[in-house]
């Protein structure tokens, strides 16, 4: 397939190298890039040369994999839409929810697919990516055209397993959102590794976060069993114990976080249903306070 990766950060670079190794014609598109080619090396493998920012690649793309952060989605996709055929599949893969809803009218003629992954990657430099944790990826269609793209699960699975097609992708996204609400803001505020949240002192906060999210999920007609969600959070804390969460890294490097699309999404849905979410609200306030302190310093 002709595949263009929009936003070759850590996860995008991981997919770029893996899809290239699986025999696909992969190119990159990055807002900051003026170069015609970009080299990327995965783990200890030799660097691969990718074409970058070539309009022909967009015109011929079968698939655009959009791996920018949630808050960059609108800005990244809008200028390239006129360069694409409406047969090109748009596959969005980022933390959080709400970013694609915000542009749904603009992309309604394309097959739209959402993905969520627990594959972990780290980009120590512009030309290197490390696969730091093997996880699972789920894909599902958003509109009618997107729902016919279930073959994509096989394509991606061949490149970097496990990938499955989930006809109820909203449920998978909410489950991941609950995990991100629990781990991301707390690790960013405490400046700690994911594994440190296993300490007893964090138990009651994690319980409260997940209880609030579960109530909102139910109000949003999603399946939400508090104990199951709480166990999933513990599983991820243990499986990624030595990792820094993406938000912890964003705060460390003073980069804008995805809080608005993670905790912010839950809090705004809670407000619509009249559900109190004081613990998530205070985490949202604290991360936003931290972000504002950079702009005022
Ligand atoms: O998705 C993650 C993130 O860091 O954004 C988790 C699952 C918390 C793993 O670090």
DSSP label of 71 = G
Query: Over the range 267-294, which residues count as b (16 or more CB within 10 Å of their CB) and which as e?
Result: bebbeeeeeebebbbebbebbeebbeee
CB of 187 sitting under 6 A from ligand 1: no
Is there a cis peptide before residue 26, judged by omega within 30 degrees of 0? Answer: no
Q: What's 53's DSSP letter?
A: S
CB of 183 closer than 6 angstroms to any ligand 1 atom: yes
pLDDT of 297: 64
Strands 2-6, 37-42: pairing kind: unpaired
Question: Over the chain, what is the mean pLDDT?
Answer: 96
Q: Of residues 42, 145, 176, 269, which has the active-site annotation?
A: 176
pLDDT at 32: 74
Does the pLDDT of residue 235 top 90, yes or no?
yes
Structure confidence at residue 33 (pLDDT): 67
Q: Do 263 and 287 meet the contact criterion of CB atoms below 8 Å apart?
A: yes
Q: Answer whether 213's CB lies under 8 Å from 264's CB.
A: no
pLDDT tens track for 161-181:
999 999 999 999 999 999 999
pLDDT tens, position by position, 17-30: 999 999 999 999 99
- pLDDT tens for residues 31-77? 876 768 999 999 999 999 999 999 999 999 999 999 999 999 999 99
Atom of ligand 1 nearest to the CA of 180: 8
181-225 pLDDT tens trace? 999 999 999 999 999 999 999 999 999 999 999 999 999 999 999
ipTM surpasses cut 0.90: yes
Q: Which of 121, 196, 244, 245 to mutate for ligand 1's pocket (most ligand atoms within 8 Å of CB)? A: 245
What's the 234 CA to ligand 1 centre distance in angstroms? 12
Q: Which domains does the chain have, with CATH numbers?
A: 1-166 (3.40.50.720), 168-293 (1.10.1040.10)
Using the mean position of ligand 1's atoms as its centre, give its distance from the Cα of residue 187 in Å.
10
Contact 4, 64 (CB under 8 A): yes
Q: Do residues 137 and 163 make contact, with C-beta atoms less than 8 angstroms apart?
A: yes
DSSP 47: P
Distance 138 CA to ligand 1 centre (A): 15
- The answer to whether residue 145 is catalytic is no
Can you give the pLDDT at residue 237? 95
Which ranges in the chain belong to alpha helices (H)?
10-21, 55-59, 73-77, 144-147, 151-159, 169-190, 203-219, 226-239, 246-252, 263-273, 278-296
């Amino acid at each position: 397939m002709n595949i263009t990766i929009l936003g070759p950060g850590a996860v995008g670079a991981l997919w770029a190298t893996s899809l290239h190794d699986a025999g696909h014609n992969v190119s990159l598109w990055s807002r900051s890039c003026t170069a015609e080619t970009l080299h990327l090396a995965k783990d200890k493998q030799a660097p691969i040369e990718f074409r970058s920012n070539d309009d022909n690649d967009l015109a011929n793309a079968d698939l655009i994999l959009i791996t920018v952060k949630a808050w960059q989605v609108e800005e990244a996709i809008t200028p390239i839409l006129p360069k694409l055929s409406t047969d090109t599949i748009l596959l969005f893969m980022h933390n959080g929810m709400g970013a694609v809803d915000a542009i749904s009218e603009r992309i309604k003629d394309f097959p739209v697919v959402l993905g969520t992954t627990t594959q972990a990657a780290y980009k120590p430099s512009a030309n290197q990516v490390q696969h730091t944790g093997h996880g699972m990826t789920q894909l599902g269609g958003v509109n009618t055209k997107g729902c016919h793209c279930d073959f994509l699960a096989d394509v991606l699975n061949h490149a970097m397993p496990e990938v499955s097609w989930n006809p109820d992708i909203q449920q998978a996204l909410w489950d991941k959102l609950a995990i991100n609400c629990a781990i991301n803001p707390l690790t960013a505020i405490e400046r700690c590794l994911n594994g440190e949240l296993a300490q007893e002192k964090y138990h009651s906060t994690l319980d409260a976060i997940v209880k609030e999210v579960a109530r909102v999920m139910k109000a949003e007609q999603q399946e939400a069993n508090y104990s199951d969600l709480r166990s999933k959070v513990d599983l991820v804390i243990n499986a990624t114990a030595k990792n820094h969460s993406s938000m912890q890294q964003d705060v460390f490097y003073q980069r804008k976080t995805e809080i608005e699309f993670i905790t912010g999404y839950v809090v705004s849905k809670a407000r619509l249903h009249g559900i109190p979410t004081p613990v998530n609200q205070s985490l949202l306030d604290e991360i936003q306070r931290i972000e504002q302190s950079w702009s005022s310093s």
